[in-house]
Structure 1
Amino acid sequence: MEFKVRDYRAEEEAHSLTRVSVSSHPLCSSSSSSSSLSLTQDLVSVEFFDPLRGLSTEILEPVEDIAVAQKHASSQSTSHLSTKEWASFNKLLMQRFPVPKMISVSALSSKTIKGKKAIGELSTNMQSDDLNDSEKSAERGFKTVSQQEYIKRLHELKDEIKRSWHADDRVTSLKLSIKVASLLMDTCVAQFYPTLFVLATDIMDMLGDMVWERIKEKAEFADDGTKICNLSDDFEANSICLEAKETCNNWFRKIASIHELLPRIYLELAIFQCWRFLRNDIMDNLMRTVMMIRGIADPLASAYCRFFLIHCAQKLPRHDAAHLVACISDQKIILKKIVSTKQTKYGNFLGDLKLLISLMEPTIEYTMRCIFKDPNQVADMIVRLEVGKSPSELHGKVPWISIILHYLLKELPTEVVCSNALEFLNLIDCSSDFSFDQCLNYKMLGLKVSEGIDQLNTVDAVIDEVIQAATKRKILNEYLKILDAYMDVILHYNMDQSLKSILSEIFERLGNEVVTEDELASLQSIVVKLVTHFDDMKYVFDLIYFVDILDVMHGSSRSIVSMHILTNATRNDRIDDPTTVKLLFDVAQSLHDNVDFSNTRQDDNQHAERLVARFIDKVDHGIELDRHLTFLVECRGAFSSMNGLKEILVHSSNLLATKALKEKKNNLNFVKSCITFSEVTIPCIPSFARQLILYLETAEISLFGGLISHADGLLDSAVCCLQSFYMVDGLRKSSEDVDGIVSLTRKLCSFLLLVPGNLEQGAMYIPKSILSLLDSQSLITPKLRIIVLCSLLSLSATFAQTELPYHAIHEEVIGNDRLYLGDAMYSQELRSLSGVILHNMVDTIPQESSQVTRGKLALEACNCITTFVKVNDEISSVCSKLMETAVSCLGGDDKYLQSTINFVNKQSPTSVGGE
């Protein structure tokens, strides 16, 4: 077997494209128009769109249409709350209060829910706590019913009402609706009441819609079905026929005859919009209903009744806010009585008064939302609610009920709150009842002024007042919550003295108390705001007590803060300040120690690992290379659980060695230290494929430094990686894994051209090791085996040349073309190895089960052989057999087959196969 002689320089020149300098970017329109290519002249003129330069009109137009549609939808929603918004609010309302499995109900409600079934019957699978509660309820005269049973019965009542209505039995529908409304008198259900309200008012709305449609049908059609008129959305009462009005009057009279007040109000509200068939101005009727609700003694029942009134009023085409102001005023009066009472009972409610207020809270929130829905009415609402004479002149000393003040702050426009922040602080200070946590009102004000931070007046006075109010709080969490809300303002206005005062106070308080989870959450928010505000972490670390406060934090809060610190620190190009490096190292180590690498949340682990890796990559000790290597050693010990990080450390160590070699000083000992660090670190990486890459990279660094023995040892380790990859017990490799390792094997073959042959073990001992490993592994498919064999044949042919295509850059590393020049034993070893490779090729191809693949592999092998080996009788015979295999598998017309035949015939004095 004789190899072809190659002239690599001549081949490179022959196959290189001519390079032409250009004055502008090839994607620019000017350069494309002045291009010398003539192909575009024959094509249809199409304007080129570069996605990196901007958005096309096709993308912009739909976005513009969406914006117009959103604006149109927004203008419609300002007139009233949509049905979808009401449904969404009710859904959240049901989720807000957890409902017990067993509910205590009054005897009257129990009759409605259970019907003829035994009352107070207990489930056999009740928990002991539920059983005790049920027995206590029974002692007080209440009955117990399961949550599922209650809800199921309400759905049954809804279906019965609907069924009766469609059967023209209006009386039954009304009677059943009264029963449903009567359930809302029973407030002893406590936390179930909001859910009961949502389900019951859904039935009320259904009845109201059915009554409305019936009367509207009578107004538009005669008894014989003849169309009388078509009512518009803003119809007048004088356009309604007499029969429709009589039907409408009849419904209101029936409802007015209901004995109990609460069901009577709910049923009238359900059909309230039907007043439009009788009168043009119905606001007096609405205010009359508001005053009727004052007759409901139970505070919870009256609050939710007002809630339903406001919902029904939204259905009217025109209404002012008089009923909203009256409702919130009535709520204020009731809440004043509740917070001033010293008893644990108020009205029919027997539970904790704080629970009572929390159940009433959603009604207050919804009312305030409706009051300030129209931005044009804000000034008028401020006056009517007696908050002030105008948005710029508020009364800051009048005490308010805390819970109402909270939702007033929440719904008021940001600019109003910002321009009167000091007055609102005084309002909060005066409103200290138990209806709502006062520190949450301070927090709400802080969130609002942070939204309009540039509109804030009297900043210094506001922050001074806030710090004083927070300092009065004995509970650490309340103190932190208040300051957290104003931290953005303090940072925005660079109030360094206030910041120092706050950090000092926080540190002092942290030293005296055990920090709870809630306090950690507030502290986390404050620290994160500090970290993200400043660009330079050195300034943050220099803040008084910042590091001490950081040391107090632990658990998930500490991890979150650590990730923010590392994220902010690694935004800069480099981290070179020694103190900052040390502090960030401690932060990264804390993050590593807090992450549980055994859990299933791999995303969190990977994020933490990426941040630590970025930190290590950004650290720069400049010319102090020894110090940087010491830093890498410390990192390896500190972050031992982060396997992916070890790969970064090896890359960093190799980069240090490269820097030392470029300096061309006497740094060989340092380079050896870097290589030793890599050699020790690489085996700790679990992936054999990653190990192989790093061994080759480190071996290359060794050759650049002239350290041939180190390179030989690293290559031996690389071959061991290949063996370990295939021999790990119980591990089934995927096709992607095998493809990857084959690709790395080919890379190893290419790298071997740089490495001088080993005089003791033989020049070709590593290629022989690869070939031996290849033969011993059944996992490798014939296709992949042929790929590796072709690489080995190419390597052998290249070693046989008088000059190699590339060499190591170190002068002491002598290539095999000079080391074994004219050595007969070397040439014989190459020919012997190539003969074995050729034999393996021929034997491997028939093992491929796929006929088409087998034919293509035969052609691949034939092309490889004739490319590197001179074609003689022996080679010609091998190629003929390979051609026969290809013809039998692919057919004589295959284009790849024909091109291969032509190529082989050019290389051979005699033609082969296929013709």
Structure 2
Amino acid sequence: MEFRPRNYTSEEESHSLPRAPADTHPLSPPSPSLLQVDVVDHGKNEFYDPLRGSDANVMVSLDDLQDEYKSSAVNEADFELPTKGWTSFKKFLMQRFSGSKMVSISPMSDVIMKSGQVREKASTTMHLEELDDPQKFAEDGIKVISQQVYVSRLHELKDEINRAWQANDRVTSLALAIKVARLLMDTSVLQFYPTLFVLATDVMDMVGEMVWQRIKQKAEFSEDGNVICSLPENFEAKDICIDAKETCSNWFFKIGSIRELLPRIYLELAILPCWRFLVDCPVDVVQRLVMMTRGIADPLASAYCRLYIAHCAQKLPQQYSETGYLIICINDIKNLLTRFLSAEESTDENFAERSKSLISLMEPTIEYIVKCIINDSNQTRAPNILVELGIGMKQTQLVGKLPCISIILHHFLKELPSELVSSNAMEIFQLIECSKDYSFDQCLNYRLLGFRISESRSQFDIINAVVDKVIEVASEYNTLDEFLKVVEAYIDIILQNQMDNKLNMIMDGIVKRACNEGIAENELISLQSIFLKLLAHFNNLEDIFTLSHFIEILDMMHGSARSMVNMHILNMATRKGRIHDPTIVQFLFEVSQSLHDVLDHSNMKNDDSQQPARLISRFVNMVDYGPELERHLAFLLECRAAFGGINDLKETLVHSSNRLAVKAMKDGENHASFVKSCIAFSEVTIPSVPSCVKQLNLYLETVEVALLGGLVSHSDGLLDSAILCLQNMDQMDDLRLPSDVDGILSLMRKLCSLLVLVPGNPQQGVTHVLRNMLALISSQSWVSSRTRTRLLCTILSLAAALSQFELPYHGNPELVLGNDRLFFGDPTYLQELLSLSASTLQNLVDNIMQEPSLVARGRMALEACNCIASSFNLSPEVLPFVSKLMETAKSCLSSNDKYLQSTIKFVDKFSSE
């Protein structure tokens, strides 16, 4: 048995394809264009990839964490008038005001009462905390009902009305609908009223739809079912027959005879579209109903009645739409609110609190009506609305006029077109300044103004004047929370217009208030938003350092807000390339420490922990101290101590240490002690990596570095550690996906390729590592028959390579002698390789014969034949193995198999030689 001699140089030349220099890069565009990347030689020998050429023009944007008008009551994305918006609006009402669990029963609620549902309230200890007015309901004898029972009863009433209608009992349907409408007169439990409104108006809408369909049917069909006409969508009153008009008029007469004002208005609104059967301009009817609501004494009931007017008017055709009645509604609500706001100066605290509760309940009605006023079909009226609010009028003209209420101003400001807001920014600011009432937090209106201005371009002089005034107002706030709410909205405007002095004033104001009071959780959210905007605006970390008080404020932050800012700082610092400045390195190290300290180290697989960990690892990897190698290694030592909870970082540290060692070797100076320090650092760090597969990869990488530096003894120790790591695979890793096994197979092949460079150890034997690998292959449960075949073939190829007079490749010849020189002409060396190969060859054939799958066995046999023919002369000792494997392959595979045919030719070629 003898190894086949190989001349690797001539084999490489004979198998290499002919090469010719290319005039253009193969990845470049076929013709010059704007996308063509001009390659500029800066004296560097680094590979230039044209696909990276466009990266220079790509800005990495940060997440936009701008507060989307937190004072908004309804999400605008869900608000589309009229149908979808009304549905989502009703859901919002029921979700927002769902606090009351018990509801009082008044005389007007007799339709709700059933036997067993209502009980006498015998003591003050029964659910008083769930009632709106504890003092009132403390009296014995007041009847209460649970909200759940109340809602269920309303659903039953709706079904009863529907059943009566289907049975042609219109009188019963109307009578029950009137009783439901009467419920809206009861506002004794304030928090329940919005829910009551939603349920009652659902009944009203159903009744209105049934009446509409009834009259429409009379207009289109006669009593005997014959078709009279088919009404178009835009029909007129003249198209309606007399019978249908009489029926329609009868319904309005019945509703007009209802004694109570509120039920009469609601039911006429429910059938409001039916006026189209009688008149061509039903908007006049709407105006009348708006005036009638002024007769409703209860402010909450009157506000929600106006809300229902706005909803029902949306059902009219667009050509009849006119917003004058809505302006009247808003002005009437403004007059109502003015009475409550006088409680600010009242000594009656209960009245003041009740007023605030009423304003909160009335806010959704204001918002919906304002949205109806300023919708897409009525944008042309927006300038007129400004006049209604007092914007554009001279201050002398406003004297004696009713000031705008803050909560109404807020919702108009939220809905007005952004261009209109920007062009009238100063006037709106003055209006906010005059609206000093507690219906809405004034600082939120200043805040909203800033966000609206930033939506469109404005003249610099207008912006500058507004920002000056806003900072002046904000400086009067003593609390950090109010100060931040206002200035946060203007940060983007200040940065875009380069108002550096105003930015410094804001930072000074933050420091002053934070030092006095500290930073609360709600303030951290605003502060986080401001810092993220600053980081998004500036390109370099050096520019951030020049900002007044930036680091000082950052040190005062804590919690998730501090972590978010830290992550953006790391992202900003590491996306620009290598980090060289020691001051910036130290700052980022402290930022990373702060981020590391709040990580959940018990669950590092969590997404919330993975991103910060990746950023810290990237920062460590990007640090570069240049020629100060010792300082860089000391930095890696600090990182290992400070960030021990991040497993991925340990890999980064080993890669960085090995890179430092290679860099030291390339300097041309004697850095032997430093290289040893780097290798030692890697040796100590690798065992702390939890994954055996990753450990193995790191050991092999460090072996390469050690061999490059001529540290043979270190490489021997690292190889032993790598083998030990392989032996621990079964105990530490649950094996395993096929891709994992393939990865380990690749690493073991890499280990064999490294052994070509490693000098054999005469004391332990030159095949010491290979014998350990053979033992491992036989003992590990994760090694499949297919994997074992490949590994045995790899060992045979390695033994054949080591037997050559000249190895296929060498390490540093000045520091490490290859086996071809170390054991040149030594017969025991060659004999040891042959002895190992003989046992390996037998194991290989036995393993293949035990494979149960015929196709797999045939493929494995062919792979082994190619390996044997490449490694050995086909002597009488080897030929039986080859013949047996070829027979196995032929019996397991089709005779037309291309792999089989090429292997037969390959083996025949060497057999003839």
Same-fold status (TM-score > 0.5)? yes
SS at match of 1:494: coil
Matched, 1:214 2:214: yes
Aligned equivalent of 2:456:
452
Aligned to 2:119: 120
Residue in 1 aligned with 2:855? Answer: 852
| Superposition map of 1:138-177 within 5 A | 138-140=137-139, 142-177=142-177
Return the offset for 1:875: 2.4
User: Residue 228 of structure 2 aligns with which residue?
Assistant: 228
Residues 736-765 of structure 1: CA distance to partner in whole angstroms, max 9, x if unpaired?
A: 433322221111111211212123222111
Q: Which amino acid aligns with 1:208?
A: G
SS in 1 for 2:230: coil
The aligned amino acid for 1:265 is I
The partner residue of 1:492 within 479, 496, 503 is 496
More displaced, 441-450 or 855-864? 855-864
How far 1:217 sits from its partner (Å)? 1.7
Q: How many Å apart are 1:231 and its aligned residue?
A: 1.5
The residue number in structure 1 matching 2:321 is 319
Indicate if the aligned counterparts of 2:861 and 2:889 stay in contact, CA closer than 8 A. yes
1:367 matched to 2:387? The reply is: no
Q: Is the 8 A contact 2:570 2:615 kept in 1?
A: yes
Task: Give SS of 1:544's match.
Answer: coil
SS in 1 for 2:489: helix
Q: Structure 1 pair 397/905, CA: closer, same or farther in 2 (3 Å)?
A: farther
- Aligned 8 A contact 1:419 1:457 in 2: no
Displacement of 1:305 in angstroms is: 1.1
The one of 787, 804, 813 equivalent to 2:807 is 804
Asked if structure 1 preserves the Cα contact closer than 8 Å seen for 2:82 and 2:311, the reply is no
Do residues 786 (structure 1) and 822 (structure 2) align? no
- Per-residue deviation, residues 483-509 of structure 1 (Å, max 9, x unmatched): 111111222222222222222222122
CA offset digits 1:500-554 (Å, max 9, x no partner): 2222222122122132111111222222222221111122123222111111111
Q: CA deviation at 1:170?
A: 2.1
Alignment-mate amino acid for residue 869 of structure 2: T
Q: CA deviation at 1:30?
A: 5.3
Q: Distance in 2 between matches of 1:510 and 1:908?
A: 88
Question: 1:863, 1:212 → 2: CA distance?
Answer: 89
The answer to whether the 8 A contact 1:453-1:489 is kept is no
Aligned to 1:461: 465
**Kept after mapping to 2: 8 A contact 1:298/1:349:** no
The separation in 2 between residues aligned to 1:764 and 1:734, in whole angstroms, is: 31
Separation in 1, partners of 2:208, 2:132: 38
The alpha-carbon deviation at position 895 of structure 1 amounts to: 4.4
Q: CA deviation at 1:131?
A: 7.9
Task: Summarize the alignment of residues 274-313 of structure 1 with structure 2, pairs less than 5 Å apart.
Answer: 274-313=274-313
Tell me the percent identity.
54
2:826 to 823, 826, 834: 823
Identify the match of residue 620 of structure 1 among 624, 649, 661. Answer: 624
Gaps of 5+ in 2: 33-50, 55-76
Q: Which residue pairs with 2:438 in the alignment?
A: 434
Aligned partner letter, 2:91: K
Which residue of the partner structure matches residue 352 of structure 1?
354
Which one of 337, 340, 348 corresponds to residue 338 of structure 1? 340
Mapped partners of 2:801, 2:400: distance in 1: 91
- 1:386 and 1:193 mapped to 2: Cα distance? 33
- What's the offset of the Cα at 1:443? 0.9
| 8 A Cα contact 2:604 2:610, kept in partner | no
Shift of 1:167: 2.4
Whether contact under 8 Å (1:570, 1:618) holds in the other structure is yes
Matched residue of 2:19: which SS?
Answer: coil
Amino acid at match of 2:286: L
Deviations 1:80-110 (A, max 9, x none): 923112222222333223434x222333465
- The structure with higher relative contact order (CA 8 Å, sep 6+) is 2
Name the structure 1 match of 2:658. Answer: 654
Corresponding position of 2:580: 576
1:693 matched to 2:692: no
Contact 1:188/1:350 (CA < 8 Å) preserved in 2? no
Partner in structure 2 of residue 74 of structure 1: none
Distance 1:481-1:435 versus aligned 2 partners, 3 A rule: same
| Inter-partner Cα distance in structure 2 for 1:637 and 1:109 | 75
What is the CA distance between 1:236 and its match in structure 2? 1.0
Q: Which moved more, 1:269-278 or 1:7-16?
A: 7-16
Of residues 701, 712, 715, the one that matches 2:716 is 712
Is contact 2:128-2:137 (8 Å) kept?
A: no
Separation in 2 of the partners of 1:810 and 1:339?
93
Pairing 1:481-880 to 2, within 5 Å after superposition: 481-599=485-603, 602-728=606-732, 731=734, 733-880=736-883
1:771: how far off? Answer: 0.8
Aligned match of 1:60:
none
1:268 pairs with 2:268: yes
Q: Deviations over 1:402-421 (max 9, x none)?
A: 10111111111212222222
Q: Distance in 2 between matches of 1:815 and 1:667?
A: 23
SS of 1:511 mapped into structure 2: helix
- 1:686-709 Cα offsets, whole Å, 9 max, x none, are 111111111111111111112222
Question: Structure 1 residues 599, 103: CA separation in 2 closer, same or farther (over 3 Å shift)?
Answer: farther
| Structure-2 residue corresponding to 1:85 | 85
Structure 2: distance between partners of 1:263 and 1:457: 54
Q: Which amino acid aligns with 2:115?
A: K
Tell me if the contact between 2:803 and 2:833 (Cα under 8 Å) persists in the aligned partners. yes
Q: What does residue range 903-914 of structure 1 map to in structure 2 within 5 Å?
A: 903-908=906-911
- Separation in structure 1 between the aligned mates of residue 263 and residue 502 of structure 2, nearest angstrom: 57
Q: C-alpha separation between the residues in 2 aligned to 1:135 and 1:494?
A: 56
CA displacement at 1:207 relative to structure 2: 1.9
| Letter in structure 2 aligned against 1:722 | L
User: Structure 1 residues 610, 398: CA separation in 2 closer, same or farther (over 3 Å shift)?
Assistant: farther
- 1:246: Cα distance to partner? 0.9
Please state how far the C-alpha of 1:557 moved relative to its aligned partner. Answer: 1.0
Q: Structure 1: where are the runs of 5+ without partners?
A: 33-50, 55-76, 911-915
User: Tell me, what secondary structure is at the counterpart of 2:685?
Assistant: helix
Q: Does 1:104 align with 2:103?
A: yes
Which shifted more, 690-699 or 464-473? Answer: 464-473
Q: Report if aligned partners of 1:566, 1:612 keep a CA contact under 8 Å in 2.
A: yes
Name the SS of the counterpart of 1:873 in structure 2: coil
Q: 1:526 to 1:135 in 2, by over 3 A?
A: closer
SS of the residue corresponding to residue 144 of structure 1 reads strand
2:197 matched residue in structure 1 = 197
Deviations 1:600-620 (A, max 9, x none): 771121110111122222222
User: Given that residues 414 and 451 in structure 1 are in contact (C-alpha distance below 8 angstroms), is that contact kept between their aligned partners in structure 2?
Assistant: yes
Describe the shift of the 1:231–1:21 C-alpha distance in structure 2 as closer, same or farther (beyond 3 A).
Answer: farther
Contact kept, 8 Å, 1:25 with 1:31, in 2: the verdict is no
Distance 1:397 1:220 in 2: 53
- Determine if contact 2:799/2:833 at 8 Å carries over to the other structure: yes
TM-score computed with the length of structure 2 as normaliser: 0.89
Summarize deviations over 1:423-463 as a string: whole Å, max 9, x none.
22222222121111111111111111122254454333322
Residue 508 of structure 1 aligns to a residue whose secondary structure is helix
What RMSD over aligned residues (CA atoms) do the two structures have, in Å? 3.1
Please say if residues 132 and 188 of structure 2, whose CA atoms lie closer than 8 Å, have aligned partners that are also in contact.
no
Alpha-carbon distance between aligned partners in 1 of 2:586 and 2:524, rounded to the nearest angstrom:
24
